[in-house]
Amino acid sequence: MRFEDLTTEEAARARDAGAVLLLPVGSIEPHGPHLPLSTDVLIAEETARRAAERVEEAGFTALVLPAVRYSTVEFSEGFAGAVGASSENAAAALADLLVSLLGQGFRAVALVNAHLEPAHIASLRAAVKTAAERTRRNVLFPDITRRALAARLTDEFRSGACHAGRYETSLVLAVRPDLVKDDIRAGLPPVDTSLVEAIQDGKRTFLEAGIDRAYCGDPASASAEEGEETYEILAAIVAEAVLAELEDPEPRH
């Protein structure tokens, strides 16, 4: 299931058998005083793994690529641990990667994104558009910031006050509880600042939005059980997009 563990001959056989590739996309950036910098990467990788299982249950081969770990993290300016690239450079690099994969003849490539910063989402959309234009092939991007998909997720996610809050903390608790600082998390008060509203008001960083510990939402109320339920929804969203593409692979530009 892990693309990177294959030999070149195994990769060729998977390609020739019509394998689908899932590309997790995250970031290295602050997620409060209780979650690791790799939070988005962990969430994207686990979502991709579960989505791949669903695709395979439907009778197709699915492989999870190594995650894209470095992306646009402009909103984290002023915090230690924010490591990223400009939106333009991130989009160009991702487009090249997608073109390389599609050019090798894999049946489909899908982005599995867990980093929700607006500039990052814009870079993903730009990369998908560029890759499609260069290859005349579709790149799948089930974007959970779109209203119809967001409606399937948790109340906190839909509120926009969900950076390292209950939503993301639950997801990390479900897969890497050892990386959650529970003693700190238990004492964190809710921060009701909606990033969606802050962005609409012209705020460009967490600090400008008044989020001075790099979290909003309610991490103290998170649970591994909620994380498990949310992963099932996220995996279903990705798998549905992939299976729909396999049924109708006509280019859409």
Q: What is the tens place of the pLDDT at every residue in 206-220?
A: 999 999 999 999 999
Q: Is the pLDDT of residue 66 over 60?
A: yes
Q: What integer is the mean pLDDT of 223-251? A: 92
Q: Determine the Cα–Cα distance for residues 208 and 202; give it in Å rounded to an integer.
A: 9
Structure letter (DSSP) for residue 184:
H
Chain-centroid distance of CA 243 in Å reads 19
What's the structural domain count of the chain? 1
Is 195 part of any domain? yes
Is 17 part of any domain? yes
Q: What integer is the mean pLDDT of 221-237? A: 98
Q: What integer is the mean pLDDT of 107-132? A: 97
Length of the chain (residues): 253
Mean pLDDT of the chain: 96
Is 253 part of any domain? no
Per DSSP, the three-state class of 2 is strand
Is 29 part of any domain? yes
How does pLDDT run across 72-85, given as a tens digit for each residue?
999 999 999 999 99
**What share of the chain in percent tops pLDDT 90?**
96
Q: Is the pLDDT of residue 253 over 50?
A: no
CATH number of domain containing 189: 3.40.50.10310
Is 231 part of any domain? yes
Is 95 part of any domain? yes
Q: What integer is the mean pLDDT of 226-231? A: 98
Annotate 208-225 with DSSP letters as a single string.
TTT-TTS--B-GGG--HH
Range of the domain at 51: 3-247
Q: Is the pLDDT of residue 252 over 60?
A: no
pLDDT at 168 (0 to 100): 98
Is 54 part of any domain? yes
How does pLDDT run across 40-50, given as a tens digit for each residue?
999 999 999 99
Chain-centroid distance of CA 218 in Å reads 21
